[in-house]
Copies of this chain bind each other. A is one copy, B any other.
Amino acid sequence: MDVKEISEVIKYHRKISGLSRVDCAHLAGLGKTVIYDIEHGKETVQLRSLMKLLAVLNIKIELKSPLMKHYINEKG
């Protein structure tokens, strides 16, 4: 999943939630501009901004790779 698709998922969730960008901005403690940027796939936003927005929309991040099962095993 690339940044563009992430942005689409976010916009979809916000719309379903009935929130405007300004609503999301306030809920996430961000400016409206960043919400706009994220939803347009801007890659230079801060990771923090993305994480805050994802939290507001109840979206979780997962990482996948051929090595992830080994990581989980070792980590317990």
Residues of A that sit less than 8 Å from B by CB: 1-3, 6, 8-9, 12-13, 16, 43-48, 50-51, 54, 57-68, 70-71, 74-75
Contact = CB atoms under 8 A, between A and B. Distances in A.
B59 A62 contact: no
B67 A13 contact: yes
Copies in the complex: 2
Nearest to A45: B47
Contacts of A16: 67, 70
Q: Closest 5 A-B residue pairs measured CB to CB?
A: A43-B48, A59-B65, A62-B62, A60-B64, A12-B71
A47 to B, nearest CB: 5
A1 B63 contact: yes
Contact of A43 (B13, B51, B58, B74): B51
